[in-house]
Amino acid sequence: MKNIEILDTLSETRGKIEKEIKKVIIGQDEIVEQVLIALFADGHCLIEGVPGLAKTLMISALAKILNMKFSRIQFTPDLMPSDITGTDILAENKADGKRYFEYIKGPVFSNIILADEINRTPPKTQAALLQAMQEREVTAGNNTYKLDKPFLVLATQNPIEQEGTYPLPEAQLDRFMFYLNINYPSHEEEKEIVKIDKKAFHTLQPVIEKNLINTIQKTISEIPISDHVLEFAVKLSRATRPQDPQSPEFIKKWVNWGAGPRASQFLAIAAKTRAALNGNLTPSIEDVKKVAVIVLQHRIIVSFAAETEGLSSKNIIDKLISILNK
């Protein structure tokens, strides 16, 4: 198919996916759109929210609708890295009785990984996902194994201030394209949630094959981006760095560390994908602004001065966008 036909297919497929997921998820339209952007942009998502907001249900439903191999990994304090990536076991050849090591692949060898409550396990185990998320491969012993495409990690976490949680290291956070926050539903939405039949999950129908997802990802990566849109994305990312001479004074005061070059890359590809999902052939500055907070907020370390003023990284990004937009 030609690129324009593929993008037409994407717009149609988006509607089918959203129709199916609404059978089990009420509201959260923005979160669903952001997860779809991550999927077709070939990125990963970290989703935060208090227990009971259907984070796990949404991801499980999405995996079923996308008709891809799915693994759920429940992160606990005693989870080991080999529980994620796999391990060598001693096996015996029945023909000659010789023993050898055989690699048994772990749950990371799937298309969609639900890393449930990822901040319930220590950083040593969290780091087991680093190579898989970045290089799409796993090294065990002397061998390296490629992961099947598409490969999407959707990690959930409870707010960090709750008991029994571990903060994710910056290197781990930087692997996630988006950091999403799920809020409580409205009064009317909650009434609809109560009415949902528990059997609704089993009625979900697959609407797309993984080969088409791979094709869409490749097509989106080839979408051209205007110089002025690319300039805005890079300028926005660089402006979060207090060391940059062009960054505003409030950044130097409120930010200790800003976003790296990966953030600029993610802003560009996420803007492309958002444009494509909405039926546009090229991204606009508005597309960049719509994904800016979810791309940047977990890459900015605020200063003590910002904390004392009650400012979050989201507040700082919003202020930055308003200035750059003038």
Concatenated DSSP letters for 143-180?
EEEEPPSS-EEEEEE--TTSTT--PPPHHHHHT-SEEE
pLDDT value at residue 231? 94
Identify the CA nearest to 240 among candidates 137, 320, 147, 165. Answer: 320
- For CA atoms 239, 243, 248, 254, the dihedral sign is positive
Instruction: Determine whether 152 is exposed, middle or buried from the number of CB atoms within 10 Å of its CB (0-12, 13-18, 19+).
Output: buried
User: What pTM does this model have?
Assistant: 0.89
> Is residue 235 over pLDDT 90?
yes
The domains located in the chain, with CATH, are 3-214 (3.40.50.300), 223-324 (1.10.8.80)
pLDDT value at residue 2? 63
Mode of pairing for the β-strands spanning 301-302 and 255-257: antiparallel
Question: Confidence band (pLDDT; 50, 70, 90) for 227?
Answer: very high
> Is residue 96 over pLDDT 90?
no
Question: Confidence band (pLDDT; 50, 70, 90) for 161?
Answer: low
Element housing 115 (H / E): strand 112-116
- Rounded Cα gap, residues 167 and 159, in angstroms: 10
Mode of pairing for the β-strands spanning 137-140 and 143-146: antiparallel
What are 275-306's pLDDT values in tens digits?
A: 999 888 889 999 999 999 999 999 999 999 98
> Is residue 1 over pLDDT 60?
no
What are 116-137's pLDDT values in tens digits?
A: 888 888 888 888 888 888 889 9
- For CA atoms 78, 84, 88, 94, the dihedral sign is positive
> Is residue 50 over pLDDT 90?
no
What are 19-39's pLDDT values in tens digits?
A: 889 888 888 888 989 999 999
Q: Which residues contact 308 (CB under 8 A, 6 or more apart)?
A: none
Mean per-residue pLDDT over the chain, rounded: 87
Query: Prior bond to 185 cis, omega within 30?
Result: no
Using an 8 Å Cβ cutoff, are 259 and 300 in contact? yes
pLDDT value at residue 326? 60
Q: What is the DSSP letter of 55?
A: H
Length of the chain: 326
